[in-house]
Chain A
Amino acid sequence: MDGPTFRLQVFLRNLSFFRPKGNPNLARINRRRALFSLIARRITILKLALFIAGYVWMLSIPSTRLDRGVYFDENALQPGQVNTYWNWKEVHDADHFLEELETLRDSNATSEQRSQYIMREFLKIGLSASTQNYEFTGLHNDINGTNTYAILSSPRVSGAEATVISASWISRMDEGNGTLNLRGVATVLALSRYVKQYSLWARDIIFIISDGYMEGMQAWLSEYHGVTQSNIRAQRLDLSSGVIWTALNIDYPGHSLSHLGIFHEGLNGRLPNQDLLNSFQHISRRTGVSVVLYDHKDEPELRWLPESIRTHPEIKTYAAQARNLWRHVGYQASGRGSGVHGLFHQYRIDAFTMFAVPSAGPHGFHSLGRVIESTMRTTNNLLERLHASFFFYVLTSFDRFVKIGNYLPSAILISVAMMFGGLQVWVDAAWTQRLQEKPQTEGPARWIRRRRPVLEVVFTMLGTHLFGAATFSFMSSRRYQSLSSAPFFLCLAVYLLPLVLPTLLRSHSNNSDPPSRALVLKAFNLCLSSTVISIITVLNFSLAACLAVALGIPLSIASPSSNQAIRIANYSFYVVLGFGWVLLEETTKQMIWNWDVLGVWLLPFLCIVYFPLTLQAALVCII
C-alpha cells in the first residue's frame, strides 16, 4: 500500500474517532444535557463543597499564607526622610498645657470654659481660632458641647487643601466611656505652637479639639462640609479652610506610652487609604516607638492549648492575627468605627487614630511629637489625594495585610452556594410527583410540572420587609426609648404577628398547594440573601462575613415539616436568630445611639434587610 495514502487514511480514521457519530446537533444537545444532569445530580455535593470552602477560607484569613507585608504605593509620600525638630522645649510646652488642663479638670470646668481656655491658648500662639457650640435634638437630646478649632494658614500656597490634627476630649479608652484625653489635647496644643514656627507647610493645618467622644467631631465635620443632619443644631463655623485630605487623631489617655496603636476603621465599614497607615507605622518604628494594631501589645494567651502547640510560632502568629481580625470585624461590622477618625471617612478624608497604649513607659510626649511631626511632613508631601494604594484590605497585623482577592472569595463562595441552593429549590418547586391514579402502568415515579405561586411569594417577601421597616420606625421613635419594657413587647409582637400570615394566605388562595409556596419562598429567600451578601462584601466585608455565617447554613436548611411542634420550634429558631439581638439591651441602645447621632446604618440594615430575610426562612417552616 502506498505510504502517504495509508497515513492519510489512518489520520482520517483518527479524526472520525473524535467526531461523534450521527447528527452533530443531536450529539451537541445530548452532550449538553449530560453535562447539566451531571451538575444537577451533584448539586448538593457542590453546594456543600462551596460552603465548606467558604468557611474554611474565612477561618484561614488570619493565617500567614494569605497575607503579605505592607508596602508603599504612593512615591510622593517619602516617609521618614526628614529631620524632625520637635525637642524637649516642645515637650515642656506640652507639660505646661497638660498642667493647666488638669487644673481645669479638677475644677470641674464646663465644656464652655474648657473651650474658652483652649481658644485663648490658640489665639496666644497666633492662630485664628474659634469655638462651635452644638446640640443634638433627636432621640438623644441631652448631648451638647463646644468644639474648639484653630487654623494655621498655609505659608506656601493658597490653602485649597488642609490637614487636620485633632484630639477629642474623651479618649477612646474602653470605647469612649469617660477617660479624658488630656495628654492628647496637650499634644495638639503644643504641636500647634510648634508648627507655627515653620514655613514648610504646603497646606492649611486645622487643629480641632472636639468635645465629647464622637459627637463633637460629627457636629463639626457636618457643619464644615455644609451637610445637614436634621438632628444637629450647631453653630456655623466662623473660619473655614480648604478640602481636607488627611486627618490624624491623637489619643493619649495614659501617663506614658509603650506602643502606638493604629485604629483605622471608619463609620459604616469604611477604611482609609492604606498608604497613610503604612507611612505612620514606618515612621514610628524608625523613630523608635513600637507599633501595634489596636491596643494588643501582649500576645494572646492560649492557656487551654497544650504547651507544645501553644509555643509553636505558626500557631502563635495565627492566634495574634486572629485576635486582630476579630477586633476588626467587631468594629467594621458594627459600622461604628473604632474612634473619632472614623467620622472623617464619610467625607472622603483619610484618617486614623494614633493611640498611645497606656503603660509605665518608656515613651512620652517627646517620641509622640516626633512621630506626629514626621507623619505630618509626609502627608505634606502629597501632591494629590491618596489614591494609589489599597482601600480594600484587612490588616492582620500592623505590617501585614490581606489583599481583597485573598479575603473576598470566602464570603462570595458562601453566597454562591446559597444562590445554587436557591436555584435548585426553584427548579424543585416546579415538579411534583404525580399521585398514583393509574397504578403500576408507568415507571416508579412520574414527575409532573406544577404551578409556582410567584406573586404571592413576592408580596409575602415585600410584606416582611415592610414589617421590618415598621419595626425600625418603632425602634427609632421616642416611645421605644421611654418604655423600659418595649423590647419585650416588640419581640412578642414580632414573634406572634407573622404567625397570622399562613392562615391569611390559606384563606386567600385555595388552588396552590402549600409545599410549593414554601419552596418558592425558600428559593427566593436564598437568592435574595445571596445577592445581599455578595453586594455587601465590597461595602463592608466584615458585615458580609457575619451575614454569611449567620444566614448561610441556616437559611439553606429551612424546610417545612409535618410535625406541628417541630414547625414551631423551627419558626422560633429563625425568629430568635433574626431578632434576638433586641433583647440585648445595651447593644440595642448603642445601635440606636449610633443611628441617631452618627447615622450608622447597622440598625436599619438589621431591621429592614437582615431580620426580614430570617423571617422569610421562618415562614418557610410554617407556611
Chain B
Amino acid sequence: MSLSAKSLKSSSSSPSSKSSPMSWASFRNSMALCIALRVLLAFGLEFYLSASATSFQQPARFSNITSDNVYYSSSSPSGGANSVVELITTGPGLLSASSPLTSYANLKEGMWLYRCGVDVYADGRGRVGVSPLYLSFSFLPSSLPVLSTTEPSHLPNIYKFLSTLLEIILWITPDALSAWFLVRIWRARTRRTGMLSMSSSSSTSTSLASSSPDILLPSLLPALYLLSPFHILPSLARFTSAWENAVLLGAVAWGCECASSADVAPKVDGGQDTDSSSSKASSPTRSSTSDKPFHSSAQSKSLLLLALRIHLSLDAIILLPPLVMLILAGPGSRLMDPGAFVLATPSSGKQQDVQVEAESKAKIDSNAKTDSGSESKSKSNDETQAKSQSPLHPQTHPILRAVFPVILEFLVYFAALSLVSTLIVGHWGWMGSTWGASLSLPSLTPNPGLWWYFFTEMFDHFRAFFLVVFEVHLLMYVAPICIKFQHDPLYALFLLTGILATFKPYPTLSDQGLFLVMWGIFGEVYPFLRTPLPALLTLLHSTLLQPLFAHLWLTHGRGNANFYYATTLVGACAGGMGVVDGVWGGLRCALEKGEQGKDSDRESVDEEWEESEVVTQQ
C-alpha cells in the first residue's frame, strides 16, 4: 500500500511524463505489487483459517436442528468457519453471497449435479442459477485439483494444498485482468482524447483535456481495482462476479481499441510509444485492420466478450447500446464539446465525420423506438449530406449501415453461445433458470439490492406487474443516457454501470466496486462534481452498516430485516448520488469550456483545482 503510494507520489511529481516508458514501468510495478499483496492476503487467510481448523473438533453441532439456529456456526468472531469462503459468506454477514447467479456454492452444486448426470435445470426454475457455460468446466476431469467437487476430507493434503493454490490463482486472475483492461481503457481514452483535441485545434480545451488524464497515472488504477475491498471480498469468497467484471471490462477495453487503433496509433504515438506498444495486445491488429476498422478483430473480441457477459447474467444487456456506440465512435473524451454522435473513421487526417442523431442509432435499442422520428427530420440536411457520401446504399442511413453489421455480429455470437449452452445441457430449459432468474426473481434471500424486500412484502397477485415495473425501470435509463451522452459513449457506459450496480435484481459487491473503480478513468469531470465527499461518506456508512446489521439480524437475532434493508437503501442512495453526480459533472464539463475562453485568468486556477479534485476522488 505504502509502496504504491510512493510510486504514485514520485510519478506525480513529474507531471510532464505522458504515457512514457516510466509510467508504464510504474504501472507494471504497481500491478505486480498489488497482485502479490492479494495472493499473500488470500494465502494468509486460507492458512490462518486452516490452522485454526485443525484444533476445530466438532463442526457446528446443532446447525440442522432448528431453522433459527442455522447461523450458529458463525456466531463467534474467531471461529466456526474452516475456509475463507465460509468465513465471508456466513461470517461477517456479507449477504452479497446470496446472489444465486454468482455464488460459489451454487457453482459447485451445479457442477456436482452435472457430473452425477443429474439434470441441473430440470424443474424449470432450477435451484441453481449457474450459467451452463460454467458447467462446461465439468468436462475437466474431476480428479483435477481445480473446482473439484469431491469431498475434501477424503483427499491427501498435497491435493488440498494444490486445490487451494489453484483456486486462489483462478480467482485473482480475473481481478488482475480487470485491472489490466482498466488501464488499457484509460490509455485508449487518453490517446484518443489527445488526438481529438489536437485535430479540433482549440487550444483552450486541449490544455484541459490533455492535462487531466496525466494525473491519474496508470500505476494507481490497478491498485484501485486490486486493493479495493469491493473486489477483494468477492474474490476471496470465489464469487463468479469477479469473472463477470473481467469479461465486461475486457469487452469495453477491446471496444475502445477497435476504434482508436485505426487512427491514433501511427500519428500521435508513433515516436514515444515504442516501449509500450510492444507490450500491447492490440498492436498486431492495428496494421491488419486499418482498412476495415469496423470488422477488426478487436471488435469481434469485444462483442464476443459482451455476448458472454450478457449470457452469464442478462442485466448487462443495457450495456449493449453504449458499447456498440463505443465501438463505432471511439473512447475519446468529448465531454468538453458535446455534439451529435460521430462515427470514428479509419483515416484520421481527412476527418470525414458524419453527424447524425443518436435517435436513429438508438433504433437498434428497442426501448428508444418511440422517439426516433421527431428529431431526425429536423436535421435532414445532414442526412442528405450523408446520403450523397454513400453512393452504394442510397436508401440506408450511414449510421445504420455501420450499426447493422455490429449488431449482427453480436447476435451471431450470442446465438452461438446459446447453442453451446444448449448442447451442454441438452435442452432449452437452462434459459428459465439462468436468465429467468434475473427476470422473475425466484430467490428472495437478502442481498444488497433493492428488489428482495419489495418482493417479500408484496402480495402475489401484484408480483408480475411489479416485476415488469422494476425491469422497465432498469431499461428506462438506457435511451436517455445514450442520447444525452451520444458524444461520449464510454461515459454513457460508465453511467449505466452505476445504474446497474444500484438497481439490478441481484447486485453484488463487485458491481458496486466496478462503478467505483471506473471513476478513475474520467479525470476530466472531477472538478465539476457537486457532492463527491457526501456520496463517498454515504457509501462508507452503508458499506460499514450492511454487514453489521446483517450480523445483528441473523446472528444475534437483535435487529430485524428492516435494519438491513434500511442500509441497503442508504447504499442505493449512495449509488444514486454517484450516478446523478456523474451525469451532472459530465454535462457541466461542456459549459466550462465556454467560460474558459472568456476568462483566461481562471484557467490556471481551474487546472489546479481540477488536480486536487482528481486526487480527491481517490
Do A454 and B616 touch across chains, with their CB atoms under 8 A apart?
yes
The stretch of B61-69, B272-280, B298-306, B325-333 that contacts the partner chain: B61-69
B155 to chain A, nearest CB (A): 22
Known pairs A227-B80, A228-B80, A348-B75; A160 contacts B66 (CB<8 A): yes
Assess whether B150 is interfacial by the CB under 8 Å rule. no
Do A455 and B75 touch across chains, with their CB atoms under 8 A apart?
no
Bound: A451/B556 CA distance, A: 46
Assess whether B456 is interfacial by the CB under 8 Å rule. no
B80 to chain A, nearest CB (A): 6
Do B77 and A599 touch across chains, with their CB atoms under 8 A apart?
yes
A42 to chain B, nearest CB (A): 19
Q: Residue A225 contacts which of B5, B72, B556 (CB distance < 8 angstroms)? A: B72
Do B60 and A225 touch across chains, with their CB atoms under 8 A apart?
yes
A452 to chain B, nearest CB (A): 5
Q: Residue A385 contacts which of B80, B541, B557 (CB distance < 8 angstroms)? A: B557
Assess whether B540 is interfacial by the CB under 8 Å rule. yes
Enumerate chain A residues within 8 angstroms of B66, measured Cβ to Cβ.
160-161, 242-243
Assess whether A270 is interfacial by the CB under 8 Å rule. yes
Do B62 and A243 touch across chains, with their CB atoms under 8 A apart?
yes
Do B558 and A270 touch across chains, with their CB atoms under 8 A apart?
yes
Q: Residue A228 contacts which of B52, B68, B563, B608 (CB distance < 8 angstroms)? A: B52
Enumerate chain B residues within 8 angstroms of A392, measured Cβ to Cβ.
558
Assess whether B9 is interfacial by the CB under 8 Å rule. yes
Assess whether B605 is interfacial by the CB under 8 Å rule. yes
Q: Residue B76 contacts which of A346, A452, A456 (CB distance < 8 angstroms)? A: A346
The stretch of A106-114, A209-217, A254-262, A527-535 that contacts the partner chain: A527-535
Enumerate chain B residues within 8 angstroms of A384, measured Cβ to Cβ.
68
Known pairs A229-B78, A348-B75, A527-B537; A450 contacts B2 (CB<8 A): no
Enumerate chain A residues within 8 angstroms of B22, measured Cβ to Cβ.
none
Assess whether B466 is interfacial by the CB under 8 Å rule. no
What 0/1 pattern do residues 254 to 297 of A give for CB contact below 8 A with B?
00000000000000001000000000000000000000000000
Enumerate chain A residues within 8 angstroms of B55, measured Cβ to Cβ.
228, 230
Q: Please report which residues of chain B, range 538-553, place their CB below 8 angstroms from some CB of chain A when the two chains form the complex.
A: 540-541, 544-545, 548-549, 552
Assess whether B116 is interfacial by the CB under 8 Å rule. no
Q: Number of A interface residues, CB 8 Å?
A: 51
Known pairs A225-B61, A243-B65, A449-B608; A538 contacts B552 (CB<8 A): yes
Enumerate chain B residues within 8 angstroms of A228, measured Cβ to Cβ.
52-53, 55-57, 78-80
Do B75 and A227 touch across chains, with their CB atoms under 8 A apart?
yes
A621 to chain B, nearest CB (A): 23
Assess whether B193 is interfacial by the CB under 8 Å rule. no
Enumerate chain B residues within 8 angstroms of A456, measured Cβ to Cβ.
9
Assess whether B408 is interfacial by the CB under 8 Å rule. no
Enumerate chain B residues within 8 angstroms of A80, measured Cβ to Cβ.
none
A568 to chain B, nearest CB (A): 27
Known pairs A454-B618, A459-B2; A270 contacts B61 (CB<8 A): no
Do A430 and B533 touch across chains, with their CB atoms under 8 A apart?
no
Residue among B5, B60, B534, B606 with the most chain A CB within 10 A? B5
Enumerate chain A residues within 8 angstroms of B533, measured Cβ to Cβ.
423, 426, 527
Assess whether A391 is interfacial by the CB under 8 Å rule. yes
Known pairs A449-B605, A453-B612, A531-B537; A227 contacts B79 (CB<8 A): yes
Assess whether B59 is interfacial by the CB under 8 Å rule. yes
Assess whether B555 is interfacial by the CB under 8 Å rule. yes
A161 to chain B, nearest CB (A): 8
Which residue on B lies nearest to A434, using beta carbons?
B605
Assess whether B161 is interfacial by the CB under 8 Å rule. no
Q: Please report which residues of chain A, range 193-207, place their CB below 8 angstroms from some CB of chain B when the two chains form the complex.
A: none
Q: Residue A222 contacts which of B1, B76, B609 (CB distance < 8 angstroms)? A: B76
A522 to chain B, nearest CB (A): 14
Enumerate chain A residues within 8 angstroms of B559, measured Cβ to Cβ.
391, 538
Do A230 and B612 touch across chains, with their CB atoms under 8 A apart?
no
Known pairs A242-B62, A243-B62, A534-B541; A226 contacts B73 (CB<8 A): yes
What 0/1 pattern do residues 545 to 582 of B give for CB contact below 8 A with A?
10011001001111100010000000000000000000
Q: Please report which residues of chain A, range 140-160, place their CB below 8 angstroms from some CB of chain B when the two chains form the complex.
A: 160
Bound: A185/B59 CA distance, A: 31
Known pairs A225-B75, A228-B78, A451-B608; A509 contacts B9 (CB<8 A): yes
Do B609 and A451 touch across chains, with their CB atoms under 8 A apart?
yes
Which residue on B lies nearest to A456, using beta carbons?
B9
Q: Residue A458 contacts which of B544, B556, B618 (CB distance < 8 angstroms)? A: B618
Assess whether B615 is interfacial by the CB under 8 Å rule. yes
Assess whether B201 is interfacial by the CB under 8 Å rule. no
Known pairs A243-B69, A454-B618, A458-B618; A226 contacts B60 (CB<8 A): yes
Bound: A454/B533 CA distance, A: 11
Q: Please report which residues of chain A, range 435-476, place their CB below 8 angstroms from some CB of chain B when the two chains form the complex.
A: 448-456, 458-459, 462-463
Which residue on A lies nearest to B80, using beta carbons?
A227
Assess whether A581 is interfacial by the CB under 8 Å rule. no
B228 to chain A, nearest CB (A): 13
A301 to chain B, nearest CB (A): 37
Which residue on B lies nearest to A161, using beta carbons?
B66
Assess whether B58 is interfacial by the CB under 8 Å rule. yes
Enumerate chain A residues within 8 angstroms of B608, measured Cβ to Cβ.
449-451
Q: Please report which residues of chain B, range 1-54, place their CB below 8 angstroms from some CB of chain A when the two chains form the complex.
A: 1-2, 5, 8-9, 13, 52-53
19 residue pairs bridging A and B, Cβ less than 8 Å apart:
A226-B72, A226-B80, A227-B80, A228-B53, A229-B78, A229-B79, A230-B52, A230-B55, A243-B66, A348-B555, A348-B557, A449-B606, A450-B608, A453-B612, A459-B2, A459-B5, A463-B2, A538-B552, A599-B78
Question: In the complex, given contacts A270-B556, A599-B76, what are 10 additional A-B residue pairs having Cβ atoms less than 8 angstroms apart?
Answer: A225-B72, A226-B72, A228-B53, A384-B68, A452-B612, A455-B9, A509-B13, A531-B541, A535-B548, A601-B77
